[in-house]
Amino acid sequence: MNHPVSNFIVSYFYWVFLAILVLNLLQRKYRQKAQRKRGATLYVAIFVFVFYIYAYGIIQLGLSEWFLLVYLAVVGLLVGFYPQTFLPFRLRCASCSKTLSFDRFFYSDDNLCEQCARAASETESTAEADESDDREHPEDPER
């Protein structure tokens, strides 16, 4: 039996898997900011690797290539049910819909553009300052 698609997958998907792992390592630099996206690239790498093994198995067992669709259907269902886990990437800012730069797209879990992220961190830090102010008041002898 001919396996054109499976042969293609076996020839190239191992390298795709390695390439995604390299991207995953790049995300390490931004550990805190990109935790969710780093998890997602790892899951995608695993999907690709298992697809590679699966295609290899289909060739070895002489099965029909239609079985590839079974795998894709399972992955499709998983991604459909857990989009935040497997595909948290957005091309546009979650707040103002501006197209995100690659850095924000790939390294930042909040999916905000530079401007919105700066605005968000400013309100966050003023909120923190207010909080610590409140905590200091009772111990302040001047008041």
Closest approach of Zn ion to the CB of residue 47, in Å: 30
Tokens of 73: 């259907």
User: What is the rounded distance in angstroms from the CA atom of residue 17 to the CA atom of residue 55?
Assistant: 14
Residue with Cβ nearer Zn ion (103 or 131): 103
User: What is the rounded distance in angstroms from the CA atom of residue 37 to the CA atom of residue 110?
Assistant: 10
Residue with Cβ nearer Zn ion (55 or 113): 113
Residue with Cβ nearer Zn ion (9 or 93): 93
Residue with Cβ nearer Zn ion (34 or 58): 34
Q: Give the interface with Zn ion as residue ranges (CB under 5 A).
A: 93, 95-96, 98, 113, 116
Closest approach of Zn ion to the CB of residue 96, in Å: 3
Number of Cα atoms under 13 Å in the Cβ half of residue 51: 27
Closest approach of Zn ion to the CB of residue 112, in Å: 5
Q: What is the DSSP track for 51-75? A: HHHHHHHHHHHT--TTHHHHHHHHH
Closest approach of Zn ion to the CB of residue 46, in Å: 32
Beta bridge partners of 92: 99
